[in-house]
């Protein structure tokens, strides 16, 4: 079956540091890939997505590139802010028996200090 593996957290950074959160996946078909963000006390919300190989998703200074050859979708940001402190989930969506059931990673907590 499909699976998503994320680096374990927490990731602790100082403000303005560079961020990379690794995500790799296994899928039987041609999935779409997503990064969701969960701020404290809230539900998940879409951060960015990519729907085919070599696509780059970007939003709020975050980027991720769909790498089919390495089955990866790593999240990057050049300069993090305290307000980026949250839990980040990598996910994929693939067709299984006619239903698109998303598969999520376990989440990576990011803590940014001033």
Partner 1 sequence: NAGVTQTPKFQVLKTGQSMTLQCAQDMNHNSMYWYRQDPGMGLRLIYYSASEGTTDKGEVPNGYNVSRLNKREFSLRLESAAPSQTSVYFCASRVTGTGSYNEQFFGPGTRLTVL
Return the number of the residue (19 or 32) whose C-beta is nearest partner 1.
32
In whole angstroms, how far apart are CA 109 and each of 15, 29, 32, 85, 102? 15, 29, 23, 8, 20
Q: Which of residues 29-48 bind partner 1 (CB under 8 A)?
A: 29-32, 34, 36, 42-46
Q: Is 5 a binder of partner 1 (CB under 8 A)?
A: no
Which residues are CB-neighbours of 97 under 8 A, at least 6 positions away? none
Nearer to partner 1, 18 or 106 (CB): 106
Is residue 49 involved in binding partner 1 (CB under 8 A)?
yes
CA–CA distance, 47 with 75 (Å, rounded to integer): 10
Q: Indicate the residue among 85 and 109 with the shorter CB distance to partner 1.
A: 109
The neighbour count for residue 10, using CB atoms within 10 Å, is: 11
**Residues with Cβ < 8 Å from 74, sequence gap 6 or more?**
20, 21, 22, 23, 64, 65
CB of 102 to partner 1, least distance (A): 6
Q: Does 93 bind partner 1 (CB under 8 A)?
A: yes
Q: Footprint of partner 1 on this chain (CB under 8 A)?
A: 29-32, 34, 36, 42-46, 49, 51, 89, 93-95, 98-102, 104-107
């Amino acid at each position: 079956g499909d699976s998503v593996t994320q680096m374990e957290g927490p990731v602790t950074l100082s403000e303005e540091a560079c961020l990379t959160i690794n995500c790799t996946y296994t899928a039987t078909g041609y999935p779409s890939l997503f990064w969701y963000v969960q701020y404290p006390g809230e539900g998940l919300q879409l951060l960015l997505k990519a729907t085919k190989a070599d696509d780059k998703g970007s939003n709020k200074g975050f980027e991720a590139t769909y790498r089919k050859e390495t089955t990866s979708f790593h999240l990057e940001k050049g300069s993090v802010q305290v307000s980026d402190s949250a839990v980040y989930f990598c996910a994929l969506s693939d067709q299984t028996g006619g239903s698109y059931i998303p598969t999520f990673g376990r989440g990576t907590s990011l803590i940014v200090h001033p």
